Amino acid sequence: MEVYIQLSSGKGPKECDFFLTHVLGIFQKEAFKKQIQVTVIDEDKSGSGLIQSAVCKLTGVDIDVFLQSWKGSLLWICESPFRSSHKRKNWFIGLFVITKEKEIILLEKDILYQVMRSSGAGGQHVNKVSSAVRALHMPTGITSVAMDTRSQLQNKKLAKDRLAQKLMQLQNQSAQHDIDKQWQNHAEIQRGNPTRVFKGIHFKS
């Protein structure tokens, strides 16, 4: 089982980055005890080297059960270690599960080819010979057409190449959606109803 999560300080103050930096280590240790491997695949850090956002890949079993006690808002109750006169003691970060689109691999067995007559100018050949090819990617329903040449074989290859380009565009759109969702997570941290509460400079829970 493979799951992706994001820890975000929600563009909060330095205290939130400090909280996230320390809680990531706690999260990794708890996951290890459950035989879940946590791999950090992306990090955004502040100028002071504290982590503002971390995307991690979790590998193992019963990950959903493990995440039930982590998903949502995390609260750290502590006086600021950076501003001694600051009255605020509640610092929030968020843990989100990221839904990643599966990579689309173009396999020959997934392509349905349909031969048809070419349309448009071209004289008698166009009207009598079925040389154009439509390619359908059955898992996604995406199609492409090639009628560039008089060779059905060449048109078949062109149709497949164009299908591959369309699938790549779809994959790029999905990847951009993942990125946009991660940025959206920064603004969606709930300041209340925390899933986990940590207290003090040693993050006791």
Residue pair 201/82 in contact (Cβ under 8 Å)? The answer is: no
Position 122 scores a pLDDT of 47
Q: Is 27 helix (H, G, I), strand (E, B) or coil?
A: helix
The one-letter amino acid at 200 = G
Question: What is the structure's pLDDT at 187?
Answer: 63
Angle, alpha carbons 1-196-83 (nearest 5°): 125
pTM (2 d.p.)? 0.64
Query: What are the residues whose beta carbons fall under 8 Å from the beta carbon of 184, sequence distance 6 or more?
Result: none
| Weakly modelled stretches of the chain, pLDDT under 50 | 121-127
pLDDT of residue 170: 81
